[in-house]
Amino acid sequence: MDGGDAWSAEGFETPKPVHTARPGSQLESETDPGLERIGRGKVRDLYRLDPDRLLLVASDRLSAFDVVFREPIPGKGRILTDLSRFWFEATAEIIPNHCLAGDWETRVRTEAWDYLQGRTLLVRRLNPLPIEAVVRGYLAGSAWKSYQQGEPVSGMHLPPGLREAERLETPLYTPTSKAPIGEHDRPLSFDETVERIGSGALAEAIREHALAIYRLATKRAEACGLIIADTKMEFGTNAAGELFLIDELLTPDSTRFWPRDTFEPGRAPPSFDKQFVRDYLESIGWNKQPPPPPLPAPILEGTRARYEEARQRLLGPIKL
C-alpha cells in the first residue's frame, strides 16, 4: 500500500508539483484556498489555518506503487474524505483522531469554495510518526509475494500451505516505513518500529489500536457485503506525547476491499480500490519508477467506479 500524508510542517516535504495542468483540468485559482501551503503529499495538500489547526484537502490525484500520476480521478478526493470522516467518528471510542469541529469556510478564498467542499477536513496540528500501521486479515498483495518466495512477513513466518487471498487465523500487524514521494515503503519488524519512534510502549499502543480498529471495521464491512483484506493507518502525537489517529482511514486508497459474494480463496478477487490500476500497470511491464506512464480513459473511469462502489456499499449513495 502506498504511503500517505503527514500533518505537521516538521518533517514534511517541501511542496512541489505532482502533476501538470491538462486541457479541462481545474485552474490553480479555483483550488487555492489562499492559505499558506505547508505540505503536499501524494494525494493531500496541507494548509496552515492558524498555529494549532490545519486544513487537510484531499485532491483527486492518483498514486500507485508510491508514484503520483498525471491524470486525476474525478471526485476521488470527496469519496476519500467522506469515508475517512465516517470511520474517524466510528473509531473515536478506540482512539482520538486529528479531526476538529469549527469554521474554516470564512477563512478561504470564495473562488475555491466549490473545490474545497466535501474534500476538506479541519485537523489539529500533530507530529506524525515515521511508520505506517498495516493490518492484514488475508494473505494478499506484497505479503502474498513474500510468502510465495518463502520470506517472512514483517519478520513473522506463516504456516506452509496457505493460498492467495486466504483468511489468516488472526489478523497480522505488519508495519512499514513511510517513504518520501517517489520512494518505496519497506516492511518493518516490530523491533524496528520501536527504534523508529523511540518508545516500546508507544509502538505497542499503535499495534493494539490498529488491530482494534481493523476488528471493528471488519464487522461493519461484512454487514455491507465487503471484506477488508488489509488496511493502512497512520498515527501522530501531540506535545504531551498523546497518541492520535491521523491521515485517512479505511478508504480505497489505504484499504483492499473485496466483495464477499464472489470471494474464493486461492485466487485474487476483484476489488473496490486501486488494485485495478496496479493490475493494469503490472500488465504493461512498468518498472514502478518515475515518470509514470499515461493512464487510458477506461482505466481512470474503472478506478473511479470502484471507489464509488466501495463508498456506496459502506455509506450509501453520494452525489459527486
pLDDT, tens only, 161-171:
999 999 999 99
The three-state secondary structure class of 257 is strand
14 occurs within a structural domain = no
Provide mean pLDDT across the span 195-204.
97
Among candidate residues 61, 95, 125, the one where a domain is terminated: 125
Mean pLDDT in residue range 135-139: 98
User: Taking 60 as the threshold, does the pLDDT of residue 279 lie above it?
Assistant: yes
Does 72 map to a domain? yes
How many structural domains does the chain have? 2
- From residue 20, alpha-carbon distances to 8, 83, 221, 286 in Å are 25, 27, 36, 21
At residue 15 the predicted structure's pLDDT band, cuts being 50, 70 and 90, is very low
**Same domain? 136 vs 61:** no
pTM confidence score: 0.90
More confident residue, 227 or 180: 227
Residue 180: its pLDDT value, please? Answer: 78
β-strand partners of 135? 173, 231
Q: Which whole number is the average pLDDT over 78-100?
A: 98
Whether the predicted pLDDT of 1 surpasses 70: no
Helix (H) or strand (E) holding 37: strand 36-40
Q: Residues 224, 238: one domain?
A: yes
Q: Are residues 204 and 280 in the same domain?
A: yes
Domain of residue 145 covers: 128-289
pLDDT at 66 over 50: yes
pLDDT at position 106: 94
